[in-house]
Structure 1
Amino acid sequence: MTTVVSIDPAPAYNDAERGTLDITSRLPVASSYPDEKKANLVVAEVIPAKKDTPAPAPKPVSKPPKHKPSAWTRWQVWFNTYRKFFVFTFSLNMIGLGLTASGHWHYPLKFPGAFILGNLQVAILVRNELFGRFLYLTCNTLFAKWTPLWWRLGCTSVLQHLGGIHSGCAVSGLIWLLYHVVNLFRAMHSYNDSVLAFGVATNFVVAAAALSAFPWIRNNHHNVFERNHRAFGWLGIIITWAFTILGDLWDVNTRTWNLSGVHLVKQQDFWYIIMMTTFVAIPWICTREVEVDIELPSPKVAIVRFKRGMQQGLLGRISRHPIKEYHAFGIISEGTHSKYHYMICGVQGDFTRSLVNDPPRTLWTRQLKFAGISNTSTLYKRGIRICTGTGIGAALSTCIQSPNWFLIWIGSDQEKTFGPTISGLIHRNIEPERVLLWDSKVRGGRPDTMKILKEIYHSFGAEVVFITSNYVGNFEIMHGCKEAGIPAFGTLWDF
């Protein structure tokens, strides 16, 4: 199956696409449990009911009292590395812009492309799948297990939050572009009308691409983001090419066109736009239409099976169309030696619903997958992967492929909802002593998650916790881990 991805930043996805949609099925209960003594947890016993006898109502689990984290804890979780990167890159650019506008720095006036296209180039580069995989591979190869824990945690944090650099550089590039066009109009008598017109058009298109990527739009109207951000992104590349070439060929001193190719290739911004286009094109070259098999264990979930195995910690994007919106899901595989890998698609929205109502025989995808937070699991000696609902799609490979990771999966009617394929992968590959499957329907509700997490963290000897849950669950666990002094990384909602 082939996944296609946006030419621009990796998008923020809704719960189903993230693999974090909590699913409640009305199908019968079938669950399995770990060795309760290993984790010192009280586990409800499941007694199958006779065929004609209704199962007794489960004893409700007492809900833990709501704990409100301190303001300092909330601030630490909120002001994460993503925001730090954004503040750093944006502030640095704005200092430079201030020095330029005040007349203390003249270089940006002479070479505006270095700041406009340079920022946009970096924004695209840090979202490029090939560049990201290179960074993950480098860190996992050089620093796994032997380096101090604080260093490995720092590597994970930097890799997970590179989007802050993307956002900071993209917004800064737009502001530099606006400043440059304003300067062109201040001296409009020296420029050809075509240069001015394409300057305005470039500003409009780049601004539209940035606006479509605002968090509220990305998280609440994902298809709008996907279609518009990609369309304006490609259009922006084309118009930026025109604006760059026209600006480089126009001689301000003689007010004539200098059509020399030698003059053009000597310009900084000409090479910046070439690099931008290359970074954008590389992932699309890997786009393919592939055959898929779709299993429908329940009306709420589609299990998509692809050929060939994958390493753990990767995500892929899929679509019914080679150009239209793409949707990202975690990849489950038993390893690179395996014949197949899988994606769990929880039904939420038109695309995922269509996988259930009208299962396709082929899908478009990128053969070059992008790395997620789980890919850094090899840095740690032991860890915990906790997830809820369809978050198992992003978490399972890590625990399958590494004997040093503990799986906690909280959901409802898990085996019936997600089917025998997912259950089989768990039971074949993960020993009972390092898995806890909590069926909230059987056990009468959700567990005291932090109590369980703390006990397993200490008894298992974990160094870090990776979380894949919905928005509320993610931040509850993040806040709890921060207060307990447990290193944890949770699902990101792009800011």
Structure 2
Amino acid sequence: MAGGSIPAYSDAEKGLVDVHAPRSAVPPIFASMPAQPYLADEKKVEALTQATLVSPPKEKQETSLPAPVAKPPSKPKKKKVSNWVLWRLWFNTYRKFFTFVFSLNVVGIGMAASGHWPYAVQFSGAMVLGNLFCAILMRNEVFGRILYWLVNTLFAKWTPLWWRLGCTSVLQHLGGIHSGCALSGCLWLILKVVDTFRQRNVSHDSILAVGVATNLAVAISAVSAFPWVRNTHHNVFERHHRFVGWLGIVFTWIFVILGDTYDPDTRTWRPSGVHIAHQQDFWFISGMTILVLIPWFCVREVDVDIELPSPKVAIIRFKRGMQQGLLGRVSRSCIMEYHAFGIISEGPHAKYHYMICGVQGDFTRSLVNDPPRTLWTRELKFAGVSNTSTLYKRGVRICTGTGIGAALSTCLQSPYWYLIWIGSDQEKTFGPTISGLINRHIGPERLLLWDSKLRGGRPDTMKILKEAFYTWEAEVVFITSNYIGNSEIMQGCKEAGIPAFGTLWDF
């Protein structure tokens, strides 16, 4: 395929859930299976799972599959979702965090600007950098991994379900605190610079100039991270949010040092390291710098093997195993164009872990047309919502297409999770590596593979999901799909009262 053009792919081949696609007349695989009893004894469950790992012969599987539907039925009418359900899904924990943090800061800014909070005026630099420090902290891989580890260690399985669901929701939506603090920090910075200009008769010109430059850099970095920029113009987001953000940190250092060494009363400079070290803003900017640098200390160029089972997918193989629920960033360059993918691994002690890259943009297409021998990656991986699967006794993991990359590890490493994978000709598209992992580790009693090409269309997703959820006696559903598919499954789960967590785009 090197140098060749890539043919156009159907939505089914890309793994996009089209909820308007015709339903198949074929019932789900597990619809005819007896309900599996809930086994509280983990050893019994493990023994049952190990006993069913061996899949039936290929000939038997093929003969047991129903014949393709020649002419699918007409499209079902889309069910209208109530405004209350839509509101609850829209005003999720992310937006609740953002609203709380941003509102609290707006009140503080109003009090400071009106003269009712002199402390915030006197230490406005600390108010700016305190918010920006929290914003960066929420996106730091080390901090995130520590939070996930603490929650998974302290609250797994024994705590009430509502508490565990709340923990998952909080961890998944930490981006709301990140966004709220970042935007609030920008507003506090504007207030500080405006106040500095109001006192320009006693301020030095260099402080005014650096204050404006810092404001511009921080504002550009914040605006470039808005969802509509980040999700539709990834390279634009990355260049501005990262490099202009780094420039903003440099300007902030200069702004802090100049502001802390200049005495407006005597209009003289007091370059005292002891005095600077006693200022709050010095320690905030120091912490911000450390948090930004930590992930980059973990960047390495590593050897990779790339499998191309089809022109639609590249499977990257790395050395060493991983725990479930992690995501990794890879790039051809050490500092540019990092792309995040879910990690597939049989466990921390496995020999390899994998990433599935569906052909969508220039980067993933280059993996197919010009497979590299090495890639740059951060050895410190970051945790995703699936990492909290250990909190639950049993669950359902549903995904479409290349979403299997983020979903499979959970089901490989735990016998208490049921896998639903909807796609088109999965074995041919994703190759023997992924099929082999599924056949070796996931028994038929907790697996539904829906081949939309063979079955003549997409299934009634909510129907098979509900059957799996109640038959498996699950506590939660994790979803990995495209925007439309994720939205419709989340809406269906919310209406049915099924706890579910889907893919995020507001981050």
TM-score under structure 1 normalisation?
0.90
* Partner of residue 92, structure 1: 104
2:430 aligned with 1:418, yes or no?
yes
Q: How does 1:362-401 map to 2 (within 5 A)?
A: 362-401=374-413
Contact 1:305 1:342 in 2 (8 A): yes
* Partner of residue 180, structure 1: 192
Matching residue's letter, 1:80: N
* Partner of residue 152, structure 1: 164
2:457 aligned with 1:464, yes or no?
no
* Partner of residue 29, structure 1: none
* Partner of residue 339, structure 1: 351
Matching residue's letter, 1:37: S
Deviation at 1:37, TM superposition (A): 2.7
2:184 aligned with 1:191, yes or no?
no
* Partner of residue 260, structure 1: 272
* Partner of residue 24, structure 2: none
* Partner of residue 247, structure 1: 259
Matching residue's letter, 1:222: H
Which of the residues 222, 232, 237 maps onto 2:244? 232
Q: Distance in 2 between matches of 1:56 and 1:124?
A: 52
2:455 aligns to what SS in structure 1? coil
Q: Distance in 2 between matches of 1:301 and 1:491?
A: 20
Which of the residues 434, 437, 455 maps onto 2:449? 437
Deviation at 1:64, TM superposition (A): 3.8
Q: How does 1:37-436 map to 2 (within 5 A)?
A: 37-38=32-33, 58=70, 60=72, 63-436=75-448
Contact 2:31 2:467 in 1 (8 A): no
Q: Structure 1 unaligned runs (5+)?
A: 1-19, 25-32, 49-54
Deviation at 1:132, TM superposition (A): 0.3
Contact 2:14 2:312 in 1 (8 A): no
Q: How does 1:447-462 map to 2 (within 5 A)?
A: 447-462=459-474
Matching residue's letter, 1:81: T
2:454 aligns to what SS in structure 1? coil
Matching residue's letter, 2:269: W
Q: Structure 2 unaligned runs (5+)?
A: 1-12, 18-27, 36-59
Deviation at 1:36, TM superposition (A): 5.0
Matching residue's letter, 2:431: G
Matching residue's letter, 1:77: L
1:188 aligns to what SS in structure 2? coil
Q: Distance in 2 between matches of 1:384 and 1:309?
A: 23
Deviation at 1:102, TM superposition (A): 1.2
Q: Distance in 1 between matches of 2:393 and 2:360?
A: 36
Deviation at 1:385, TM superposition (A): 0.2
2:453 aligns to what SS in structure 1? coil
* Partner of residue 15, structure 2: 22
Matching residue's letter, 1:120: L
Q: After TM superposition, which residue ranges in structure 1, 4 or more long, deviate above 6 angstroms? A: none
Deviation at 1:58, TM superposition (A): 4.1
Deviation at 1:39, TM superposition (A): 6.8
* Partner of residue 446, structure 1: 458
Structural RMSD (CA): 1.7
Deviation at 1:65, TM superposition (A): 2.8
* Partner of residue 482, structure 1: 494
Q: Distance in 2 between matches of 1:84 and 1:39?
A: 42
Matching residue's letter, 1:466: F
1:213–1:237: structure 2 CA closer, same or farther, 3 Å change rule? same
2:78 aligns to what SS in structure 1? coil
Contact 1:60 1:443 in 2 (8 A): no
Task: Show CA shifts across 1:388-424 (max 9, x none).
Answer: 0100000000000000000000001111111110111
Contact 1:61 1:446 in 2 (8 A): no
Q: Distance in 2 between matches of 1:210 and 1:149?
A: 36
Contact 1:468 1:474 in 2 (8 A): yes
Q: Distance in 1 between matches of 2:125 and 2:196?
A: 13
Q: How many residues align?
A: 458
1:56–1:94: structure 2 CA closer, same or farther, 3 Å change rule? closer
Q: Distance in 1 between matches of 2:224 and 2:171?
A: 24
* Partner of residue 4, structure 1: none
1:341 aligns to what SS in structure 2? strand
Contact 2:314 2:357 in 1 (8 A): yes
Contact 2:331 2:337 in 1 (8 A): yes
Q: Distance in 1 between matches of 2:227 and 2:369?
A: 30
Contact 2:16 2:485 in 1 (8 A): no
Contact 2:16 2:482 in 1 (8 A): no
1:442 aligns to what SS in structure 2? helix
Q: Distance in 1 between matches of 2:429 and 2:232?
A: 26
Q: Which has the higher contact order (CA 8 A, sep 6+)?
A: 1
Matching residue's letter, 1:436: L
Q: Distance in 2 between matches of 1:369 and 1:46?
A: 37
Deviation at 1:264, TM superposition (A): 1.1
Matching residue's letter, 1:110: Q
1:39–1:136: structure 2 CA closer, same or farther, 3 Å change rule? farther
2:307 aligns to what SS in structure 1? strand
Q: Distance in 2 between matches of 1:110 and 1:196?
A: 17
TM-score under structure 2 normalisation?
0.88
Contact 1:21 1:391 in 2 (8 A): no
1:64–1:100: structure 2 CA closer, same or farther, 3 Å change rule? same
Matching residue's letter, 2:174: L
1:189 aligns to what SS in structure 2? coil
Matching residue's letter, 2:317: R
Matching residue's letter, 2:146: F
Contact 2:357 2:402 in 1 (8 A): yes
Deviation at 1:480, TM superposition (A): 0.3
Q: Distance in 2 between matches of 1:325 and 1:251?
A: 44
Deviation at 1:233, TM superposition (A): 1.2
Matching residue's letter, 1:38: M
Q: Distance in 2 between matches of 1:74 and 1:396?
A: 29
